[in-house]
Chains A and B, each alone.
Chain A
Amino acid sequence: MDIFGHLALGLGVVFTVNNLLFCFLGALIGTLIGVLPGIGPVATISLLLPITFGMDSVTSIILLAGVFYGAQYGGSTTSILVNIPGEASSIVTCLDGYQMARKGRPGAALGMSAFGSFIGGTASIVGLMLLAPILARAALKFGPPEYFSLMFFGLTLVIYLCVGSITKGLIMAVAGLAVSTVGQDLVTGSTRFTLGSITLMDGVGIVPAAMGVFGLGEVLTNIEEGIKREVFATKVKGLFPNLKDWKDSAWPIVRGTLIGFFVGILPGGGTVIPTFMSYTVEKRLSRHPEKFGTGVIEGVAGPETANNAATGGSMVTLLSLGIPANVSIAVLLGAFIIHGIQPGPLLMTQHPHLFWGTIASMYVGNVMLVILNLPLIGLWVRILKIPYNILFPLILLFCFIGVYSINNNLYEILIMVGFGVFGYLIRKFGYEGAPFLLALVLGPMLETAFRQSMLYGDPFILFKRPISMVLLILGLFLIVSPIFSGIAQRRRRLIEEENG
């Protein structure tokens, strides 16, 4: 069957009343939680997970995937109107989006980010459709060494792109890996570091950890600093960007799509990193880089396109390799497994309805999202007017219910609170949560792949297989390169001192 045949199959799956309804619900919920700061796709997908138990597997995935990519649309609204990112992936949008709103052009910023999101989102699904089958076929030849090196590379990428020092990023990743070893050793079956606790036998859950570090940790930081915010524009007019806006945004959107999609594919790429990369690229290529940060539309169009394009990219890794590229996808992977489906190279042939149905639903969902975000913008603005001192107890309540509902286990709430304190402290001491959580997510897969690789009986196997070797060397280079650039800088300084 050719690609159009596959797409027709997928659309056939989506165009039933039930699946369309759940696709719409996913997009709607995604936008809502995207708009609300502090509530993200991780918390929401895990909260919705138990209610999908009784549902058809395709419908469940359509709903949960909708929340994932829908959140990228909603996040920009909060960034532009309130100068607080609705999601981590729209932090960059605050820089120019909020300035545009202050200059009286909130409509153009919101409109351009919605159109950019749509273009990036849709183009990345085309990419997903073309690339996932090729990658899945190639991945059939992947053995444990290749999987190990790919995940290792993803982890080093996240560390490399950390804002702080590489050392701190490495510490976070090592700590995350250490936490991931708690529980049953997947190879021998013996338990590690459980202190006799039954809850810890299954390991530290990704959801309580993620909601602790990102959700609760952020709320605690905000409470301490006493957050003040105001919604800038009460009435948003002129959602359609003018011709000049389009001319300025055309190339940023194209580049944002490419950056988002290809970085999104990499394990660890996620939806946040591409936005920073896109902003940096646009600033560097711009003829007026000094204007960035004062409300230029390129600074909104590029990153907002990139984070949506990344959703398609990270679905490639999930559907064709079975590797979660970020925490939201890790929770989505959990949903697949609960429904008895193992994402990976065989998914496309074993569950074609699910594979192509999910892809087709993303096309439909993106159309729904543009419609939801443009005319209904007034509704989201009203939600933003809820003051933080009412919102934060609701966020905590949401985390509380979300964590409890996964296993009906009280101890997981305490684990979340513990990680909340941890998340609050690492912010204070200048560490980042992203490498920690990705390491926690990938830890068990990484360890298993390593130990299976060692079963080949050759300690250098990881360097003897070509794909594995390239990925490992790239990863090591990412960690070591800042040291060399540090040396280079010092040498330059010495030469300058000698000359001067």
Chain B
Amino acid sequence: MKHRDTASGLFWLVIGIGLSVWTLTSYEIGRLTQPGTGYLPLSLGILLILLSLILLVAQMKKSPGARQAVPPADRSGGWKKVVYTVGVLIVAAFFFERVGYLPTFFCLIVLLMKGVEQQSWKRILLTALLTSVGVYLVFILLLEVQLPRGFLGV
């Protein structure tokens, strides 16, 4: 799994098989002249299997030196920042409707700025504050976008 085309080829092979099996067991396929609900998904599943096999075979034919490795994931721990950012976004989505947009956005900005790059608290809090006020002025007052107001009620 060191090589990126091997890894992604296997991934698409699994997806292709999964799609085909799911379609075959759940939906009516029909015929070419009378395609049913499952006709397109099944065709796509089979195509995906074929394409991933082409990718895998082409990879095997290459000399080991010509294969491109998966870009190193541990370059200065950058991937941890990616996982962290995705995590923060999911947590923010979870709290969004419960506590309202203002506290969520304030915390979102603080967490993202603090976690991804070391910066002074003054700068972070100032950005978070200005952003919250900006969101209120532009999106709520000017554009009248409907956002959950939460316990603050604004």
Contact = CB atoms under 8 A, between A and B. Distances in A.
A401 B131 CA distance: 13
B2 interface: no
Interface stretch (A34-42, A70-78, A223-231): A223-231
Interface residues of A, number: 57
Interface string A35-71: 0000000000001101100000000000000000000
B78 A226 contact: yes
Interface string B27-45: 1000011111110110011
A187 B28 CA distance: 13
Interface stretch (A143-151, A165-173, A283-291, A297-305): A165-173
Given A400-B89, A401-B139, A429-B70, A390 B127 contact: yes
B68 to A, nearest CB: 7
A178 interface: yes
A393 B37 contact: no
Q: Which residue, A175, A216, A414, has most C-beta atoms of chain B within 10 A?
A: A175
Contacts of B63: none
Interface string B92-106: 110011000000010
B4 A396 contact: no
Contacts of A421: 86
A181 B44 contact: yes
A160 to B, nearest CB: 15
Instruction: Give the interface residue-count category, chain B.
Output: 35 or more
Contacts of A12: none
Interface stretch (A122-130, A265-273, A343-351, A451-459): A451-459
Contact of B51 (A47, A170, A400): A170
Interface string B1-42: 000110110001001000100100001000011111110110
B44 A178 contact: yes
Nearest to A221: B82
A24 interface: no
A355 B91 CA distance: 45
Nearest to A188: B37
Given A397-B109, A400-B92, A447-B40, A457 B55 contact: no
Given A192-B41, A410-B93, A175 B48 contact: yes
Interface in A183-218: 185, 187-188, 190, 192-193, 216
B82 A223 contact: yes
B54 to A, nearest CB: 5
B105 to A, nearest CB: 6
Contact of B96 (A168, A185, A223, A410): A410
Contacts of B116: 223, 389, 392
A35 B144 CA distance: 25
A404 B96 contact: yes
A499 to B, nearest CB: 24
Given A178-B19, A404-B96, A408-B146, A171 B51 contact: yes
B51 A223 contact: no
Interface of A: 47-48, 50-51, 165, 167-168, 170-171, 174-175, 177-178, 181, 185, 187-188, 190, 192-193, 216, 219-220, 223-226, 389-390, 392-394, 396-397, 400-401, 404-405, 408, 410, 413-414, 417, 420-421, 424, 428-431, 447, 450-451, 454, 457-459
Given A171-B55, A223-B116, A401-B147, 11 more contacts: A51-B143, A192-B38, A224-B81, A225-B78, A226-B76, A389-B119, A404-B147, A405-B139, A410-B96, A420-B86, A459-B32
Interface of B: 4-5, 7-8, 12, 15, 19, 22, 27, 32-38, 40-41, 44-45, 47-48, 51-52, 54-55, 58, 68, 70-71, 75-76, 78-79, 81-82, 85-86, 89-90, 92-93, 96-97, 105, 108-109, 112-113, 116-117, 119, 123, 127, 131, 135, 139, 143-147
5 contacts: A224-B78, A389-B113, A405-B139, A417-B90, A429-B5
